Amino acid sequence: EGDILALTRELCSIPSGVVVPGNERLFERLAEEVPLTLHRYPSGATHNGWLVPDLWRVERATVSLDGAIVYDAAAHPLGVAAYSQPFQGELELDELLRYVVTNAAMPEALIYHCMWQYRPWDADWAISMPHELVRALPSGTYQVDLVTHRGPGEMLVGVAEHRGRSERTIVLNAHTCHPGMANDDMAGVAVLLRLFQRLAGRDTFYSYRLVLGPEHLGTVFYLRDLAREELERLVGGVFAEMPGTAGPLTVASTFLGGHPLD
């Protein structure tokens, strides 16, 4: 258990996303645990309404009052809403708060704003700020210096195989695109890495395939490029998420029931 927690913490420390610079380091680290075949999908690729977004990074993201920085949103990967546009200007407090993501029920938390990761064409700008800080902001004219960059890049998906006696394959999937978030889903990634290590060298009936990549987009584009005969070997898939919550472990049934996974 402690080993999985340590790995989860390490993975959470790497600023990942759909298409961000930190993904190269993340997948290098994942490949140290389980050998991965890396698939790359260029920005601008489309399939069935899905779009691989540009590479996005934050250069700086400060909120200042009277020349003093009151908040550095770039200090944590959740501080700037993913795929925010750049913005530089002055805003009164009530105007500034229209661009702040916060939650009074979780006063110390940074709230994850992910919509523009999957709909980059809708992007405006926003910052995530703990509510305890929001409550303490005095009235005044704030200076916002948000510098972000977008350009061509690649979405990464890592795949590993465990061959069983049958070519019929069960897919095990977890996602890599939520930076700094353990249960959603670096804990899922860590659990599946350890599971695949346990499978190594074991005699199994089914074959197993580990697929690690951005939620929705990663599997959409990975499946797009599989040959029909390979698709027909896939028995089904299990998505591992929220393995560290306080409640009992839960396995969902399939939508229609009567499936081999059930």
Q: Is the pLDDT of residue 103 over 70?
A: yes
Dihedral (Cα; 168, 186, 156, 39), 10-degree rounding: -20
Averaged pLDDT, 116-132: 92
Q: Is the pLDDT of residue 1 over 80?
A: no
**How does residue 83 score in pLDDT terms, banded at 50, 70 and 90?**
very high
pTM value is 0.91
Percent of the chain predicted with pLDDT > 70:
99
SS3 content of the chain, % helix, strand, coil (to 5): 30, 30, 40
Residue 123's φ and ψ, nearest 5 degrees, are -65, 135
The string over 225-236, giving b where at least 16 C-beta atoms fall within 10 Å of a residue's C-beta and e elsewhere, is eeeeeeeeeeee
Half-sphere exposure at residue 46, Cβ-oriented, CA atoms within 13 angstroms: 5
Averaged pLDDT, 151-163: 97
Is there a contact between 240 and 172 (Cβ–Cβ < 8 Å)?
Answer: yes
The residue with tokens 């004219």 is: 141
Three-point CA angle 29, 33, 34, nearest 5°: 110
**How does residue 260 score in pLDDT terms, banded at 50, 70 and 90?**
confident
Q: In what side-by-side order are the strands of the sheet with 68-72? A: 68-72, 55-65, 141-151, 87-92
What whole-number distance in Å separates Cα of residue 23 and Cα of residue 21?
A: 6
